[in-house]
Amino acid sequence: MTPVKPKRVPRAIREQQMLDASVEVFARRGYHPAGVEEIAEIAGISKPMVYLYFGSKEELFVACIRREANRLMEMITQLVDPQDPPKEQLWSALRGFFSFVSDHSGAWIVLYRQARTQGGPSAREVDEMRRRTVELIAAMLSQAAGMRKPGEQAVTAAHALVGSCESLADWMLDTPGTSAETTAKRLMHFAWPGLEELMEATRAKRAKR
């Protein structure tokens, strides 16, 4: 009865609505099967608007990636205090990460399962974020061990840690009844001993010199 008259919505808002719809559809269907038509429908607009605002399906996808990647990074950045000891930092980061994934499962699926699979710009975008994350972790480990630049082992460990996060995030989403907090704690149990040992070994080696 109140057919929601198509109001003239300002650009900035429409953009967000379109991104919301896109993330939802890309997450549900995957990049290729997702149709621009469906996205437009869910956003409550017509197809041409999508092209007017984003230019192409791929650019739309990249815009999704970018928004969600930024949100994720912000969430973590806000929780981590660089002054804290490494263990605290890691703990905060993990909690932030898993709680983001919990709260924005669609975003996570798009970022992790979809974006990296497609070649081209979208994969590059996510790879870039991943690279920065790995670097950050490696740097933190090295600094805590009193080194300037991360060694090979630190970088490898960082990569492994990120992989653990991704795997558990995925698992968490598929396994109801698993809270972000718990998942973070368990991952700490798994990962911290190895990281600690690594830092000690590094310190020891350094001391000898």
CB 136 within 8 A of CB 66: no
Of the ranges 7-15, 27-35, 40-48, 59-67, which one interacts with a copy of itself (CB under 8 A)?
Answer: 27-35
- In whole angstroms, what is the distance from residue 96 CA to residue 23 CA? 20
Q: Which does 102 bind (CB under 5 to 8 A by kind): a copy of itself, DNA, none?
A: none
Contact of residue 15 among DNA, a copy of itself, none (CB under 5-8 Å per partner type)? none
Handedness of CA 84, 90, 93, 98 (dihedral sign): negative
Looking at beta carbons only, is 84 or 197 nearer to a copy of itself? 197
Residue 37 sits in the site that holds DNA (CB under 7 A): yes
Rounded to 10 deg, the angle between the 47-54 and 57-79 helix axes is 60
The pair phi, psi for residue 4, each rounded to 5°, is 45, 70
Q: Which does 160 bind (CB under 5 to 8 A by kind): DNA, a copy of itself, none?
A: a copy of itself
For tokens 């996510």, what's the residue? 126
Please select the residue that binds DNA; options are 20, 30, 36, 192, rule is CB under 7 A.
36
Please give the residue ranges that form the binding site for DNA (CB under 7 A). 6-11, 14, 32-37, 45-49, 51-52, 55-58
